[in-house]
Amino acid sequence: MQANAQKQMTPKAMAMLMLLAVIWGGSFLSNRVALSEIGVLSVVGFRVLGGAVVLWLAIFAMGLPLPRGLYRIAQFLIMGFLACAFPFSLIVWGQQHIDSGLASILNASTAVFGVLTAAIFLSDEQLTRRKAVGLAIGFCGVVLCVGPDALRGFDPSSLGQLAVLCSALSYSFGSVYTRLYVRDLAPEVSAAGMLTGASVWIVPMALWQEGLPSLSYSLPVWGGLFWLSVIASAFAFMIYYKVMAEVGAGNFSMVTLMIPPVAITLGAIVYAEKLPISAYGGFVLLALGLLVLNGKIRLPGLAPRVRPEVPLCSNPLAPTTATATAAAAKPDTERA
């Protein structure tokens, strides 16, 4: 049997991940601004519905083929729940009860869950020693960057902290589901379908629990909603699907390790929060972890890059590369 080709991180993909880190790092600030005047479900509703509208307009303008079939609707509903509706709601709700530093650390656990779930369900994303070491170093960098003092507030019984951890787990399953079942759609169509599916879950709940929005919000709140819907959802998810196809779910989840430094920096600029010296050390560790993960730096005890790495975790029942290629090549008879 032919060995499965492992997904690789190219310089272009890394640059796109850094762009996404900046965009999604800004979403923490936007959530905080929007929550000053809007309820949790309404914030999420504005984000997913606004992003979906922008993407569908772009799709019609570009003349892209539209997805058809009940199975597509089911896929979009599942994607929308796992990757948007559920985790977005948990994070926004959690930010009401825990500070942004701790929320960033807990959200970065998406990288841990992502690598592990990808290793279990995806045959081409085995968990190697190099990935495990790089992941550990990178996560330590996030902790140091945010500040070890933030961890002193961790309480497993806190629903706010558990909510953010659950959102991280949901993200990881959403990424794996996307890799397994949604591979033959244009990135714009996949993103629009996912956000539409999320809107089906969230908008009715928001109207039921929080009523019709007043729309008489301040300019900063509208700015935050614009960032969340147009930039952090419509634009970012188009990039999301393109990078996901290239680097894989496990590698892509590493973007969560780059988000906390961005969120902290924005907080320092907008809210005059003092950036501790430890943050700079965190940046160094974070960079080292990413370089080890991508094979740019070889540490003692790890297999050389020229030799195949021994997987620590793989799924023997996952489809082989040949099977996956054949499945991807199968025409979509229900697609317009």
Determine the structural domain holding residue 311 and report its residue range.
24-329
Mean pLDDT of 193-200: 95
**Cα–chain-centroid distance for residue 133?**
21
Tokens of 136: 């550990």
| Highest mean pLDDT out of 135-144, 205-214, 238-247, 291-300 | 205-214
Strand partners, 127: 313
Residue 154 lies in a domain: yes
Mean pLDDT of 289-305: 66
Q: Is residue 181 packed enough to be buried (19+ CB in 10 Å), middle (13-18) or exposed (0-12)?
A: middle
Residue 9 lies in a domain: no
Residue 140 lies in a domain: yes
Domain count along the chain: 1
Q: How far apart are CA 308 and CA 295, in angstroms?
A: 12
Q: How confident is the model at residue 222 (pLDDT cuts 50, 70, 90)?
A: very high
Q: What are the φ/ψ torsions at residue 274 (nearest 5 degrees)?
A: -80, 125
Whether 86 has a pLDDT exceeding 60, the answer reads yes
Residue 138 lies in a domain: yes
Task: Give the side-chain half-sphere CA count within 13 A for 327.
Answer: 11
Residue 125 lies in a domain: yes
Give start and end residues of each alpha helix (H) in 108-186. Answer: 109-121, 129-146, 159-181
Is the Cβ–Cβ distance between 250 and 119 less than 8 Å?
yes
Mean pLDDT of 257-274: 79
Q: Which range among 172-176, 187-191, 248-252 shows the weakest confidence by mean pLDDT?
A: 248-252
Mean pLDDT of 228-248: 86
Q: Can you give the pLDDT at residue 84?
A: 94
Is the Cβ–Cβ distance between 160 and 41 less than 8 Å?
no
Contacts of 40 (CB under 8 A, 6+ apart): 89, 92, 93, 96
Q: How confident is the model at residue 237 (pLDDT cuts 50, 70, 90)?
A: confident
DSSP 67: P
Residue 17 lies in a domain: no
Residue 13 lies in a domain: no
Residue 301 lies in a domain: yes
Percent of the chain that is helix, strand, coil (3-state, to 5) = 70, 0, 25
Tokens of 262: 């961005």
Q: How far apart are CA 310 and CA 8, in angstroms?
A: 16
